Structure 1
Amino acid sequence: MASSLVKAGIAVAGVGSMGVGGLAISNYIKSMNNTVKSALLTQGYKLTSSLPTSEQNIAWAKVTNTYKLEKNQDLKIKEGEVTESDIRNWCKNHMEVQSNDSVLKKASKWCVVYYSFKDKLNEEKLAMETDEKALDGKYSSLGDLTEKVNAVTPVSGTGNENGRKLKKWCETMVYSSYKDNSEYQVFKGHCTKSAVQG
């Protein structure tokens, strides 16, 4: 009888150990699958690094311009000047790390394929207005944007100062990420060539 109890005790201990061991293995496998890369892919993002090389170069250049516009304290990958190589390397070095909110937020902004105002203009077959006189005429309709455009230092030239400011503002803002159609519509209204009436 005692030997039966011992055998039963050993069997229960063995099953318990397997349960703990199985839990440990399961947690390890989950942690291996909880990388930034897997989180991004699960959320439906396409990684910039998965593009063909020729497309990657264009995409990394685009994200560098967007970074200059949209970085904030939560999205900074480092202090100071950030280059295309810095962003590319940051993304490469953080894809296989454990996912956490901070890193995932940055990776979902800087390491994935996204749509910019420029992409949207191309899709709609619209061109940026480059004529400073035409842009000078649009300046009076800026409304709430006037202060932001006035903060821009225009390229050197004579005349049409407000047009030169608006031109530079438009050339910068074209790299904004497209996430809000109303922001895009404001940009488009001030920065694209007027349709020619036929």
Structure 2
Amino acid sequence: MSKSIALGSMAGIAGTGTCGYAAYKMMQPSNVKEVLIKNNFKLTSELREQEREAAWNKVLETYKVEVAENTKIENKTSTEITSKDIEGWCSKALEVKVKDKDYESTYSKATKWCVIYTSIADKLKSDNKTLSTDTSSLASKYSSMPQELKTAISGQEGEKVKTWCENTSKRFFLGSEDTNYKNLINYCLA
């Protein structure tokens, strides 16, 4: 084999490798939004306009009962924050670059507050189940609840049980073995 053919072949291989690497790098997600989409999340911000407002309100209701110190997105209490605050935060968060120092935290929060999800209430509705609104019936179920739930509800009044059931239904549905879901099924259905 001649020297020029060998050099030409090596240059071609190197060029192909460089092009392949460049194509690979271009296909890698560069920000939170692209990573969420790559991981099969559907973004609330990409819903049709007429669906978006209801979806952001659902996120707000879930935020109020689910937020913890490590998932908080604003310097506001859960009673002060609005759906517009969450929507605005998500808009900025989706643009955070993968190489940014806040990427991991932002991505984690975005998986909770910026994507379409199923709440326990959604799951109940799809299963044709409804929460009981009869406070005396709910009060009678109080005695059979585990102590940890009694402590969370802090009282036998049916109204407190009803409020607890309503708030719990706004939580994320994590599967049929989820403790919140199981407690709601056992103590809150009509």
- The answer to whether the superposition gives a TM-score over 0.5 is yes
SS at match of 1:108: helix
| Match for residue 121 of structure 1 among 100, 120, 124 | 124
Structure number with larger C-alpha Rg: 1
User: Which of the residues 115, 135, 138 maps onto 2:138?
Assistant: 135
Note the C-alpha offset of 1:141.
1.1
Counterpart secondary structure, 1:127? coil
1: CA distance, partners of 2:126 / 2:22: 48
Determine if the alignment matches structure 1 residue 43 to structure 2 residue 47. Answer: no
Aligned match of 1:74: 70
Give the equivalent residue in structure 1 for 2:151: 147
Task: Tell me the SS of whatever aligns to 1:74.
Answer: helix
1:103 Cα shift? 0.6
CA displacement, residues 29-69 of structure 1 (integer Å, 9 cap, x when unaligned): 467x3210110011110001111122211111111011111
AA matched with 2:106:
V
Q: Deviations over 1:131-183 (max 9, x none)?
A: 111111111111131100117xxxxxxxxx52111001111111000014232
SS at match of 2:71: coil
Separation (CA, whole Å) in 1 of partners of 2:133 and 2:185: 13
Match for residue 111 of structure 1?
Answer: 114
Structure-2-length-normalised TM-score: 0.78
Letter in 2 for 1:185: K
Structure 1 unaligned regions, length at least 5:
1-17, 152-160, 194-198
Q: Does 1:181 align with 2:176?
A: yes
CA distance in 2, matches of 1:59, 1:35: 23
Aligned residue for 2:158, secondary structure, equals helix
Q: Give the equivalent residue in structure 2 for 1:56.
A: 52
Q: Which residue pairs with 2:85 in the alignment?
A: 86
> Could you say what the CA RMSD is over the residues aligned between the two structures, in angstroms?
2.5
Work out whether 1:163 is the aligned partner of 2:158: yes
Q: Amino acid of the residue matched to residue 171 of structure 2?
A: S
Deviation per CA, 1:71-97: give whole Å up to 9, x if none: 112211111232100000111112122
| Amino acid across the alignment from 2:65 | L
Percent identical among aligned pairs is 33
The answer for the alignment partner of 1:95 in structure 2 is: 94
The alpha-carbon distance between structure 1 residues 97 and 26, as it changes in their structure 2 partners (threshold 3 A), is farther
AA aligned opposite 2:57: A
| Aligned-pair CA distance for 1:188 | 1.6
Runs of 4+ deviating beyond 3 Å = 24-31
| Distance in 2 between residues matched to 1:54 and 1:137, nearest whole Å | 41
